[in-house]
Structure 1
Amino acid sequence: MKEIIVTKNEAGQRLDKLLKKYMNNAPDSFFYKMLRKKNIVLNGKKAAGREKLTEGDCIKLFLSDETIGKFTAKKSRGVPGSPPSRRTALDVIYEDPDILLINKPAGMLSQKAGKDDVSAVEHVISYLLRTGAVTEEELRLFRPSVCNRLDRNTSGLIIAGKSLPGSQTMGELLKNRTLQKYYLCAVKGRITESKRLHGFLQKDEANNTVTVSGSGGVRIETEYFPLAWTKELTLLKVHLITGKTHQIRAHLASVGHPLLGDGKYGDPVFNEAYRKRYQICHQLLHAYQVVFPVMEGNCREVSGKTFTAKVPAVFWHLIKETAWEHGTQEALEVQH
């Protein structure tokens, strides 16, 4: 006999959905047969499978270990296909029972793009398993994941949901745009005044690129604040108001200020000059800061708080070595 006590991560879903997660190789007909024969019961009573679960509910499976094992996937739920040598020590900025904030390095995927990829999701799960925050058994019923995505070569703050309430709350904040997100980037050209950009974005799925125009497509909005500048380079703090694919990179390029190091939307000659001097091989774009709104209920531990991720070494080297004409002090106050 196997007993499952419903936690906050499983509450709110139907009994049959949870059973399908627990024994994901079993057909639906198996569950309904076991429920009908009372080989699976909810709180000691016969159940139909349609019942909504609440925290503390007790599900008993009067099934043999062999039967449960036969219908359970055998693969690891930690970092599938990833040997320990490929795992990366996470730069954890903040953690509580519901969410985890990490500083993602450039080069790491936010989520898997292919079957054999190892992304921030897999690294987060591996970290939670190592620290005992989750168990392999719990991963059968709820799988932590990231709530916001960054391009592979964009570094900085990623929010991961450790619990279902945490994931749902972060999802709502991102959807409603009540979570403020700020980025740091180095762009071509001299910018001396703050500005809010409006436009429309269209995606080319075949080439994984986007274009920005004055009409058509998805509406986007980007706000920037210059921190420091020279005649040819500006350090910007960008407020991402809408969050679409390649938005900051394409939006700034569309107004003549492409990101330094950007191979898709940047200036090749400009990029090459800085590559030789600073070994910059990808866009200097860093998810620098998140500001949480005042909240009650779930995730109230971060209510009204601000979190900042240190910039990567290559970005800091550029900031420190540049002879800024204006904003030297502002630039040097960037977290590194």
Structure 2
Amino acid sequence: MKFSWNVTHPGATAKTILAEQGVSHRMFSQINQSNGQVLINGRSVKPATKVNVGDQVTLIVPEEPADPNVPVSDGPLTVQYEDENLMVVEKPAGLTVVPGPSNRTDTLVNLVKGHLVAAGDRQLVPHVITRLDRDTSGLVLLAKHRLANSWLNQQLGDHTLVKRYLAIVSGQLPADHDMIDAPLRRADDGVNQIVAPDGKSAQTEYWVKQRGADWTLVEVLLHTGRTHQIRAHFQSLGHPLLGDELYGGPQTQLMRQALHAYALSFEDPVTHDQRQFECPLPADMSAIVQA
């Protein structure tokens, strides 16, 4: 793939111009290892070459070879948005996101690869930006090539990429709005996360959207991205998510954690437009709040 930018200020090199466009040092290393190129006005140059105002700096990113260990799946896939750089898809509960030892053939990545193959796309290595647990539903953002992956992960790191969730927690939360600020770490004897003084800093902000007799629907904004952060934080308050067996949530109304990634916003890394997406509650969660 080819990306070009015009030089607007003096005294720069091709590499500094590319760095200003979010091309990281790590990205440079990956491109160098895979025979990528830097061009000035169509001529191949070293990245340290000086440029002049009005020059055009071009970065050629080689295609990534498809991983033969990730087979294609032709199952159903709901795509909300797609261009040559990224995709936003809707993941149902029960679908694993990335292949692993227990499942290498039937994951979201397999489905996305199948979609790309069917469309005749030459970039066949989907990069997951916003991963969800198997039993969490909602929006997932994927980059379609390594440079988009680098750009979007930078936004994820500096929190300009914003994810919002809807969760149904057990019982009645006392506050309509609050910030849960409690460090998290893995439990000594399990795969779950616990609040502990020696854990990593974690902040979860929530707003109550609806109250039922024995549940509360909340909108959640993560200020950090710890494993199982929402699930562990609400358990620590004594209000685990409905259906969340791992964290002690009641399972009479739902057989999976009542957690849905419903909103996603970020800056398009190429056009710099603001992108916003929403995904309504799935049927199992909607049935509870509409009962």
Mark yes or no: TM-score above 0.5.
yes
Is 1:195 aligned with 2:178?
yes
User: What displacement does 1:17 show?
Assistant: 2.3
Distance in 1 between residues matched to 2:189 and 2:34, nearest whole Å: 37
Aligned residue for 2:278? Answer: 308
TM normalised by structure 1 equals 0.66
Distance in 2 between residues matched to 1:189 and 1:119, nearest whole Å: 33
Aligned residue for 1:64? Answer: none
After superposition, the Cα gap between the structure-2 partners of 1:114 and 1:51, relative to the gap in structure 1 and judged at 3 Å, is: farther
Mapped contact 1:98–1:166 kept (Cα < 8 A): yes
Distance in 2 between residues matched to 1:219 and 1:284, nearest whole Å: 24
Aligned residue for 2:118? Answer: 130
Distance in 2 between residues matched to 1:234 and 1:91, nearest whole Å: 29
Distance in 2 between residues matched to 1:318 and 1:190, nearest whole Å: 15
After superposition, the Cα gap between the structure-2 partners of 1:169 and 1:56, relative to the gap in structure 1 and judged at 3 Å, is: closer
After superposition, the Cα gap between the structure-2 partners of 1:56 and 1:257, relative to the gap in structure 1 and judged at 3 Å, is: closer
User: What displacement does 1:79 show?
Assistant: 7.7
Aligned residue for 1:327? Answer: none
**Residue of 70, 90, 101 corresponding to 1:80:** 70
User: What displacement does 1:14 show?
Assistant: 6.2
User: What displacement does 1:230 show?
Assistant: 2.3
Could you say which structure has the larger radius of gyration? 1
Aligned residue for 1:247? Answer: 229
Is 1:232 aligned with 2:214?
yes
Letter in 1 for 2:88: L
Aligned residues: 252
Deviations 1:81-132 (A, max 9, x none): 46x5xx4311111112211001111111121221642322221121111112
Letter in 2 for 1:310: P
**Residue of 291, 296, 315 corresponding to 2:265:** 291
Secondary structure of 2:133's aligned partner: coil
User: What is the correspondence of 1:59-70 to structure 2 with a 5 Å cutoff?
Assistant: none
**Residue of 134, 137, 140 corresponding to 1:158:** 140
User: What displacement does 1:291 show?
Assistant: 2.3
Secondary structure of 1:182's aligned partner: strand
Aligned residue for 1:18? Answer: 34
Deviations 1:257-276 (A, max 9, x none): 10000010023xx32x32xx
Secondary structure of 2:202's aligned partner: strand
User: What is the correspondence of 1:49-128 to structure 2 with a 5 Å cutoff?
Assistant: 55=59, 77=67, 80-81=70-71, 87-114=74-101, 116-117=103-104, 118-128=106-116
Secondary structure of 1:129's aligned partner: helix
Long gaps (5+) in structure 2: 4-22, 37-41, 50-57
Distance in 2 between residues matched to 1:307 and 1:245, nearest whole Å: 23
Deviations 1:240-262 (A, max 9, x none): 11111100000001011100000
TM normalised by structure 2 equals 0.75
Distance in 1 between residues matched to 2:238 and 2:97, nearest whole Å: 28
Identity of aligned residues (%): 29
Letter in 1 for 2:99: K
After superposition, the Cα gap between the structure-2 partners of 1:7 and 1:304, relative to the gap in structure 1 and judged at 3 Å, is: closer
Secondary structure of 1:112's aligned partner: coil
User: What displacement does 1:166 show?
Assistant: 1.8
Mapped contact 1:79–1:125 kept (Cα < 8 A): no
Give the number of the structure whose residues are more often strand, by fraction.
2
Query: Which stretch shows the higher mean deviation, 182-191 or 312-321?
Result: 312-321
Long gaps (5+) in structure 1: 1-5, 22-42, 59-72, 275-279, 322-336
